[in-house]
Chain A
């Protein structure tokens, strides 16, 4: 009898200890307003690690782009968020509900568009949406208005009574999106929503997604860069199962390029042109470039500025006041594409990206003496990447 009491109290104690942290986490959650909260999520398939310590959060009404190369763990993360897969470690919460412990509540609050839209080919658009609304728990009274609004939202009015089998890929994708929003969920998860569409359809789908933001919180995955910069408020870049950056597209570009640059084409003596350009405050480095293909007396220069500050007008003024003729002045800015390649191609243990790129470029300088100017100040990370590989 006494043993059993001890055993009971031990069990009770363990229960309390086990429960307390989650209560703490719950209180922490109430303080934040995030709609989607992912905390140190990991997923292993046997010995393969699909995602590792993934953490991010999405505010209500925001569009988060989940960017990464194929096989980086995007779909796995999406599937964990929707409750389709259980995580090995970590927690994910949608609208305050744990996706694993409170799976049914989460499923009701989430709209999910998998990579291939889940459609019953033999049903009509309206019949299919009615079925989805039913299993998502939309009450019979609300169903007609919800279906009509989803159909209108996705511009499917004229396809309302068409059998899904007869729809084109673009329309099917739209039915897939309609399926995800028919129960008016606060959170929408989309896995590669524009894959396999033609350019016009891609623009339509992007606009549709943008129009859904605000009242819905959206998380979408893609490996197409222009897509995130065109649709998303924030980007999470994932590579080999780990989040390596989360920020707005503009900040990402700025943070990871740091330096700006200009290309200038001038007519005049090279020596004086170089000194004029160097005299502009804020300019760090000026280099002459290859002049092949240029008219006689024209020279091209690469101007590197210290910050992201715009020096275009200062350069133009300096050039003109010193009696040189200005033929071209263009800003060269690293694109999101550069940032992405830079981020995803580096070794996980490497130093900050920009340093790595530039130092590698510097060290490869001797080997490539034919065109030292270009490689030295080139901001295109493709070059950096290739050279990095060559060194390795």
Chain B
């Protein structure tokens, strides 16, 4: 057990280190922060922003419907952030295994006393950590906005929404990792992972159609459950669904690396 943990830690640290030494990772982070920050400013402070709308509603007096401004903001913003992440995540996961295959280091991992699933788990933890680091400055900016809210906005709703975002990202990254393990080309992995993201959107769209198919799919849709989290509803079935996607991704990755040994090379 101790050996497994130290292996996991070694893989995790190497993976994380590779992000912090990669120019591409920095570019991705900067673009993410830039667009995320732009959304934040536009949503709150622009002339058509939420604050301006609320001020206009106040001027109309009692006739207008009262809105919970911080809550509205959190929902819209997390949905925007989720959509932005869907473009960013394939670029984070594309290199996870494709790069190792290209550099030939997969042969080192496969001939070391480390199991495939430990490698997969370590890598996933590494990339999720990097995504969390990308998310932190944006969370701080949001927290500053929420700090000026009166009455105080409940931090639990704020945290739950972001935990939901992290779980969604982890699920997509886990499946992206599997896709990355299928080929030695990072570009191909990125395109295929983006295709998967589109598929998730399609599934979510079908899930919104009433009927048996829609009902069944709504239980499997990552995005539908993410919306629950964003609304501040903690649902065990949602948590289990996210974890299932993560475990599925790790399992498929380990299997795909295992079958690699049986291919001609």
Contacts and interface: CB of A to CB of B under 8 A. Distances in A.
Nearest to A135: B112
Interface in A120-151: 120-123, 127, 131-132, 134-137, 140
Contacts of A135: 7, 10-11, 109, 112-114
B134 to A, nearest CB: 19
A132 B3 CA distance: 14
Contact of B18 (A84, A108, A122, A179): A122
A7 interface: no
Interface string B207-221: 000000000000000
B113 A108 contact: yes
Given A86-B261, A114-B107, A120-B103, A131 B113 contact: no
B22 A118 contact: no
B10 A134 contact: yes
Interface string A315-343: 00000000000000000000000000000
A82 interface: yes
Given A119-B105, A120-B105, A136 B18 contact: no
B6 interface: yes
A133 to B, nearest CB: 9
B108 interface: yes
Contact of A132 (B9, B13, B108): B108
A262 interface: no
B261 A104 contact: no
Contacts of B264: 45-46, 48
Contact of A137 (B3, B103, B110): B3
A122 B21 contact: yes
Contacts of B13: 131
B150 interface: no
Given A114-B104, A118-B104, A118-B105, A83 B11 contact: no
In this complex, the member of B13, B113, B261 whose beta carbon has the largest number of chain A beta carbons within 10 angstroms is B113
Interface in B1-57: 3, 6-7, 9-11, 13-14, 17-18, 21-22
Contacts of A114: 104, 107-108
Interface residues of B, number: 28
Contacts of A104: 113, 115
A131 B100 CA distance: 15
A82 B261 CA distance: 12
Contacts of B22: 122
A132 B105 CA distance: 11
Interface residues of A, number: 32
B103 A136 contact: no
A112 B108 CA distance: 8
A205 interface: no
Contacts of B113: 104-105, 107-108, 135-137
A137 B8 CA distance: 11
Contacts of B106: 118
In this complex, the member of A45, A122, A135 whose beta carbon has the largest number of chain B beta carbons within 10 angstroms is A135
A120 B104 CA distance: 9
Nearest to B13: A131
B236 interface: no
B7 A120 contact: no
In this complex, the member of A46, A120, A131 whose beta carbon has the largest number of chain B beta carbons within 10 angstroms is A120
Interface in B108-162: 108-115
Given A86-B262, A104-B113, A107-B113, A120 B107 contact: no
B14 A131 contact: yes
A110 interface: yes
In this complex, the member of B107, B115, B264 whose beta carbon has the largest number of chain A beta carbons within 10 angstroms is B107
A116 interface: yes
Contact of A107 (B3, B18, B112, B261): B112
Contact of B108 (A83, A134, A179): A179
A107 B10 contact: no
Contacts of A46: 264
Contacts of B112: 107, 132, 135-136
Contacts of B110: 83-84
Contacts of A127: 17
Interface string A66-94: 00000000000000001111100000000
B18 A118 contact: no
Given A135-B112, A135-B114, A119 B10 contact: no
Nearest to B6: A134
A136 B3 CA distance: 10
Nearest to A48: B264
B160 to A, nearest CB: 36
A83 B107 CA distance: 10
A209 B113 CA distance: 24
B111 A120 contact: no
11 contacts: A84-B261, A86-B261, A104-B115, A112-B107, A118-B108, A119-B103, A131-B13, A131-B14, A134-B7, A137-B3, A140-B6
Interface of B: 3, 6-7, 9-11, 13-14, 17-18, 21-22, 103-115, 261-262, 264
Interface of A: 45-46, 48, 82-86, 104-105, 107-108, 110, 112, 114, 116-123, 127, 131-132, 134-137, 140, 179
Q: Sorted from nearest, which 10 A-B pairs have the closest CB atoms?
A: A134-B10, A118-B108, A107-B113, A118-B105, A122-B21, A82-B111, A135-B112, A116-B104, A108-B113, A45-B264
